Structure 1
Amino acid sequence: MRIECEHAPRHLTIVERRPPWREDLGPDWTSSAIARLRYNATDKSWTLYWADQHQRFHTYDRLPPSQGIEDLLTEIERDPTNIFWG
Structure 2
Amino acid sequence: MSGTDPTSPTGGAQASTLPELDVARVKRWCAARVPERVRHEMRVECEVAPRHLTIVERRAPYDEQQFGPEWTSFPIARLRYTKTRGTWSLYWRDRHMRFHAYDEQFAFAPSPDVEALLAEVDRDPTSIFWG
Q: Note if 1:52 corresponds to 2:94.
A: yes
**Higher Rg of the two aligned structures:** 2
**Equivalent position of 1:77 in the other structure:** 122
Whichever residue aligns with residue 7 of structure 1, its letter is: V
Supply the distance in 1 between the matched residues of 2:52 and 2:45 (Cα, whole angstroms): 14
CA RMSD of the aligned region, Å? 1.0
Alignment of structure 1 residues 6-85 onto 2, 5 Å: 6-22=47-63, 23-61=65-103, 62=106, 63-85=108-130
Which protein has greater RCO, CA pairs closer than 8 Å, 6+ apart? Answer: 1
- Higher fraction of strand: 1
**Alignment TM-score, normalising by the size of structure 2:** 0.63
> Any idea what the Cα deviations from partners look like across 1:14-65, whole Å, max 9, x if unmatched?
0000000023122210000000000111211100001112221111022100
Corresponding pairs, count = 86
- Higher fraction of helix: 2
Q: Which runs of 5+ in 1 are unaligned?
A: none
The runs of at least 4 consecutive aligned structure 1 residues that moved more than 6 Å come to: none
**Alignment TM-score, normalising by the size of structure 1:** 0.93
Supply the distance in 1 between the matched residues of 2:71 and 2:97 (Cα, whole angstroms): 16
Percent of aligned positions that are identical: 63
Whichever residue aligns with residue 60 of structure 2, its letter is: P
